[in-house]
Structure 1
Amino acid sequence: MYRKRASTPNAPDKAGDLGRARDALERALTLNPSNPVACFQGAYASELLARHRRDHGEEYGPDLEKALALYRQGLAINSKLPQLHNSLGAALLWQAEQVWEEGGDPEPLLAETWKSFEHARNMAPQQSFAWNNFGEVRVTRALFQLARREDPGPGLRAALESYRKALELLPGDADLWANQARAHLLLATWVLEQGGDPRSELGSAEGALARARELNPRLGNAWRYLGETLGVRARWLAHQDKARDEDFEQAAKAWQQALELDPRQLEYRLAAGHFHRDRAEWMEHRGSDPAPVLKQALELAGQVLAARPQWARAQVLHASVLLAMAGTAAGAEQQRAWRDQAREELEQALARNPHLGPAWRHRLTALRQPVTGPPVP
């Protein structure tokens, strides 16, 4: 009952309900210590509680460790339950992402994650879950490679093969189609950043997302990835000097739909903020007023930082929007204030997560250069 109530939109006391659900399951374990189902349910409640605390800028480590311990306790009771191996791997994958976010090395956890999914696959090779999870590990590693400005292509192509196998087993799963689309989207992003033509990968992403939305029109991830895909297409058209307002507007509508479906997803707000900043920069380049769109981007960044004040990627977004604002037709004093604030935020972000350096350190270096005034007569 508690966990079900916690999962409802706008739950009034999500953390409290998840804690009470976990406590009830721990009491069940006290009465029956050999019950792997109670271990699984208690672990899942602890994991959800950890994610909730993380998204509110609170300490989440003890709850995550509790979840991992309960998953392992369940496997010690019965090591032949693939759902326990898959769930342990998913929690370890999330832990690896948090380690990366804090500037640490995620590779040992990714290796442990992979082993958990291999156990699940070996026990239930005809289930789609482990195959999907193999793809998720590869996509996560690809995201880290993109941040380092390294080629994620081989890993993403391997991820697509994993998703293909998962879809052979469960072709009616909307999430699988959305995950496949994301891999195509990340390949398209890399191609665009290298100055290539991303249209083939974008077309594959859009096709998979059309299928995902057909199966589940209310799947937030499908709309989020559509917003990102259409945003990459608009940026490519802008590089060709062929972009129109409608190209960016289509992406903006997809982002709005994603945010309406999953308003609590901070990742959606973060990515939407980057899209609006990119759109504003294109508008300024073509002579339009970017101020309203930059205001949207700044609001999204502020909302994320209000929930997680120490999140380095959110600080980077906020700083990048301030830099874009400093390039508009504002007064010199205001421009200087925005640049100073952006420099301070970037310094803090890169100190918290040095993995962001390859993509953003050059912006910080430029901000540290002295600003010269007009030539002396």
Structure 2
Amino acid sequence: MPKDPEADKLKDELQAAIKKIQETHTPCQDQSFEDLTSSAGNAPKCGLSIRKPCKGHLNKVNSVHFAGDSRHLVSGSLDGKLIIWDIYTGNKTSIIPLRSAWVMSCAFSPSGNFVASGGMDNQCTIHDCNNRDATGAAKIARELIGYEGFLSSMRFLNDDNIITGSGDTMVIHWDTTNGKKVNQYFGHSGDVATMSLAEDQNTLLTGSVDRTIKLWDLRDNKCQQTFWGHNADVNCVYMLGNGFTFGTGSEDRTARLWDIRSDQQLAKYDPPNGKSGFTSCILSKSGRYIICGADDNGIHVWDTLKTNHVGCLSGHDNRITSLALTPNGIAMASCSWDTKVQVWGL
């Protein structure tokens, strides 16, 4: 069969492009994200304000997470307590004393029946909110041990299954009914710092101090994609409800928007002062805003399409450590080293 010079040329160009991406992790784009979205109208004004200040912690608060009912919130603090809040009233519904005060992460099960926490004690402790002791605190239902590093992140799939990330580079799926590992996911070369589950619970995103984000398929237990681009620790990752788009925040002082289908970064968001490292991030329910907590005590907001900074929410006096969005998208919670938990709404 005679050679086709044009086909050979295209093949060589394609192989060169693939080699460039593999060597430099630089995506190929025929048009910029800003050009593609230039015709989009401006986003509505972000009118978030503090609706319920939740006061009760006595030390730095490191993590917040909502239950599936969009009403109950759990927060974990270095005062050695988990507090469950009713955000409609701002009142505490339960205070759970912990065996270790070094809490780094906490999570609510979607049903609201269980809360989990972990940190420098190198274990994940699960409390049953429906089974309380004489003081009214939720009893321990299960302790998951076997880590060689701190617990940095965790998310329930349901009441019987939880996924954890830790400082020993591991991501583990646990059966909480018997305390045994269902699966273990290997791939990161540094501490796993953050995770986010897709709404259909088929895929999981993890971010690490190795500067990468990995996409895992929980059905075949494999890493499907690895995303490069950040120049420092990836502190936070958040999957949008469509299951294809996610946001990240990093110590490299940038937030970024990514697309799983195109296997690349779509947009980058810089703080106005260029000096803010990002500790936490969420995307609004519509995806039009990316919201990031920073070490400059502010919560920064960008229009994801226009990529412009549209405001900074003030309400904390120290480093923001965690942000959480209600499943219905109508409210947001933040926590900080200033000991405060704030609930924000329109």
If the length of structure 1 is used for normalisation, what is the TM-score?
0.26
Greater RCO (CA < 8 Å, at least 6 residues apart): 2
- Richer in strand (by share): 2
Which structure has the larger Rg over C-alpha atoms? 1
